Amino acid sequence: MQWERDDGLRLRVLGALVVVAVMPVAFVYTMVFLVNAVGFELLAWATDRPWNGRLVVPLWTVVPVVAGGFVVQYVFGERMALRAVGARRVSEKSEPALHATLSRLAAQADAPVPDLAVTESSVPNAFTVGRRPQEATLVVTRGLLDTLAEREREAVLAHELAHVKNRDVTVMTLAYFLPTLTYAVAIAAFFVLRGVFHTAGAFEDVDGDGAKGLVAIIVVLVVSAILTLAVSALFWAGSFLLFRLLSQYREYAADRGAAAITGDPLALSSALRTLDESMGDLPDADLREQDGGLEALYVAPIDTYQFGGDRELLSSDIFPATHPPTRDRIDRLEELAASAEAGP
C-alpha cells in the first residue's frame, strides 16, 4: 500500500486559504458599510441634524492590519491551542517509547518528526497543530495512551503524521484567525450593551432635554452593538462552516495516509471504534473541557450525535459535523484492507 497524492485535498486547502484570507477583509468592509448606511443615519436622528460624511477605509490600510492578524495567529496559534487543552511538550527521556514510535513512523512517511505533547485529559484523543510541517506539534491525551493498544496507538500517530505530510495543519491553524477576530468584536459589542444598560439605570432622575439626549445616545449605542453582534455572528458562522467542510475531507485523506504509512488499515479502524466507544461513556464535563475550540482538529469527534439527544453539543445542531461519520471512516478503511489483501 503506497502513499498517493490527494489532489482533491490540495485544491480544497488552496481554496480554503483564499477564503480565509478574503473573509477578514470582507468583515471589515461590512462593518464600514454599516457605519455609512446605518451609523450616520442614527447620528442624524440623535443630533437632529444631517450627517453627510462617509467613512472611507482604503484597502491599503486594511490589508496590512489583516496580514498582521494572520502573523499573530501564525506565530502564537500553536501556543494558544496547546494552552487551551493544557498540553505540555514531553522529552524523549520522559516518553522514550512514544518518541521512538513517532520517529519510526515519520521516517516511513518521509515526513518531519513533529514535537510531542501530552495533555492529562482522560478523553482519548489526539490532534496536530503547527505553522508548517517542520514545526508541527502532535498532541496526545493521557486517556488515548491508556485506552488504545500499541497497534492502535501507532495508527493514530500515523493519522496525525498524514495531516503533517498533507500540509493541511497550517491552513487549519490559520483558519482560526477570523473566528478569533469576530469573537473579540462580538465580546466588545456585548460589553458596550452591558455598560449601556447598567449606566441607564443611574440616570433615572434626568428629565427634559437631558433625558432626550440620553435616550438618543442609548438608542445609538444599542442599535450599533446589536448590528455589530449580528455581523460578527454571521462571519463567525461562515468561517466555521468553511472550517468544518474542509475538516471532513481532510479526515478521510489522513485515514488513507495512515493506512499507507502503517500498511495496516484495520489498525486505525480498530482505534476509531475504540475511541468512539470510550468517549460515549465519558461525562459531559470531560468532553467540554477537552474541546477548547479545537474540536475540528481531533482524530475522533467529540461533538457528533454519538452521545445521544441529551449530550449533543450546540454546534452539531447548527453546523455540519467536524468529522465524517465514524462508521463511514471504518467502512472505508475496511475496504482498503480488503483491496490490499486481494492484491492487484
Q: What is the pLDDT of residue 192?
A: 74
Q: What is the mean pLDDT of the chain?
A: 80
Query: Which of 81-85, 88-92, 178-182, 198-202 has the weakest average pLDDT?
Result: 198-202
DSSP 148: S
Q: Is the pTM of this model over 0.85?
A: no
**Using one digit for the tens of pLDDT, what is the confidence trace for 122-165?**
889 999 998 888 889 999 999 999 999 999 999 999 999 999 99
Q: In what helix (H) or strand (E) does residue 88 lie, and over which residues does it extend?
A: strand 88-89
Instruction: Give the pLDDT confidence of 282-334 residue by residue, as tens digits.
Output: 665 555 555 556 777 889 887 543 334 444 444 444 556 778 889 999 999 99
Pairwise CA distance, residues 342 & 49, whole Å: 81
| Alpha helices, H only, the chain | 7-34, 40-47, 59-84, 96-109, 142-147, 150-166, 168-174, 177-200, 209-262, 265-279, 284-291, 314-318, 326-342
Structural domain spans, the chain: 7-342
Residues acting as catalytic residues: 160
